[in-house]
Amino acid sequence: VPELPEVESLRRSLLPYIDGQTIRSVKVLMAKLVSSKGTKRESSKAKQVEFESNLVGEKIIGIERRAKNLIFRLSSGAVVLVHLKMTGQLVYKQNSENGESEIVFGGHPIQDTQTDLPNKHTYVIFNLDKGTLYYNDVRQFGYLLYYKNQLDLDKDDHFSKLGLEPFSPDFTEKNFVSRMKTKKGVLKKLFLDQKVVVGLGNIYCDEVCFASGVLPTRKVETLTSKELSKLYKEIKRILAFAVDLGGSSIANYLLADGSRGNYAREHKVYNRSGLNCIKCGNPLKSIQLAGRTTVFCDIDQK
Ligand SMILES: [Zn+2]
């Protein structure tokens, strides 16, 4: 599952390649992906046709991100919202000039065979001036929605329940602490529901709790001012560091140098249950919390 740092890395990697390019044609191979969001989606032929025809001739003038949504801005004021969900993947392949094709991709980790494009998991194809953008999705939970303007996007209300953006100027310690003080219950559950701050999925929740010396099972209402301050600083630091390293899975893959997302190497607790804690040397513990494997050190975290 791509988490926020992977989506942000993808945005930053794609932008210099596709910004300013015009969409020449669009092919949708699975109508439900462009029809609506949710698990029981209709396949609307009308939505598919709208998606394919309305985008032709549009120039891409920017890509923004809100939580894990990518927002493609187009020259007419139209918007395409993309959510990769569990297994979505965007792959951009620049037209080859000297036989060496450049590929940028992010989202679900790519398999070597998936550098053959399009492939059996490709469901939307955008032909641009200088290359092709592919949307692949093994399990087809993701979606790409077209809105003719910002007003229509706002009406669909994708973002109203979301918390603070960790890289925005609004994410101040004061704002974070005041939101935390209105909440109760288990810390990790609160972080996972994204209502205080977005971007803390399973991996980053465990990493932030460990770095802050706070157990993920702590009741939010028992956190001290010092602990809240530490959590705030670690959320900022860890998410920014993860984005700088290209996320935990893979965000930017250039065939030329084969570089991949490197944050996975930096995990201190995630996926390290039973291994020695890097601080005290004792084995890390794990439990199931909110349906997720949760790893922590019961000595360093209180
Ligand atoms: Zn420890």
Model pLDDT, residue 253: 40
Spacing, Cα 190 to ligand 1 middle (Å): 23
Spacing, Cα 243 to ligand 1 middle (Å): 26
Residue 175 to residue 169: CA distance in whole angstroms:
10
In Å, how far are 60, 74, 77, 260 from 21, measured between CA atoms?
6, 10, 15, 25
Q: Find the catalytic residue in 11, 32, 47, 68.
A: 68
Spacing, Cα 270 to ligand 1 middle (Å): 13
Question: For residues 187 and 214, is the Cβ–Cβ distance under 8 A?
Answer: yes
Q: Which of the two residues, 39 and 127, has the higher pLDDT score?
A: 127
Q: Catalytic annotation on 169?
A: no
Q: Catalytic annotation on 2?
A: yes
Q: Find the catalytic residue in 37, 66, 179, 292.
A: 292
Spacing, Cα 276 to ligand 1 middle (Å): 8
Cis ω before 118 (30° cut-off from 0): yes
Task: Give the amino acid at 174.
Answer: K
Model pLDDT, residue 172: 98
Q: Catalytic annotation on 179?
A: no
Spacing, Cα 174 to ligand 1 middle (Å): 29
Model pLDDT, residue 99: 65
Model pLDDT, residue 112: 56
The proportion of the chain whose per-residue pLDDT surpasses 70, expressed as a percent, equals: 91
pLDDT at 35 over 50: yes
Q: Catalytic annotation on 68?
A: yes
pLDDT tens digits, one per residue of 230-278: 999 999 999 999 888 776 544 344 433 344 556 667 899 999 999 999 9
pLDDT tens digits, one per residue of 266-297: 899 999 999 999 999 999 999 999 999 999 99
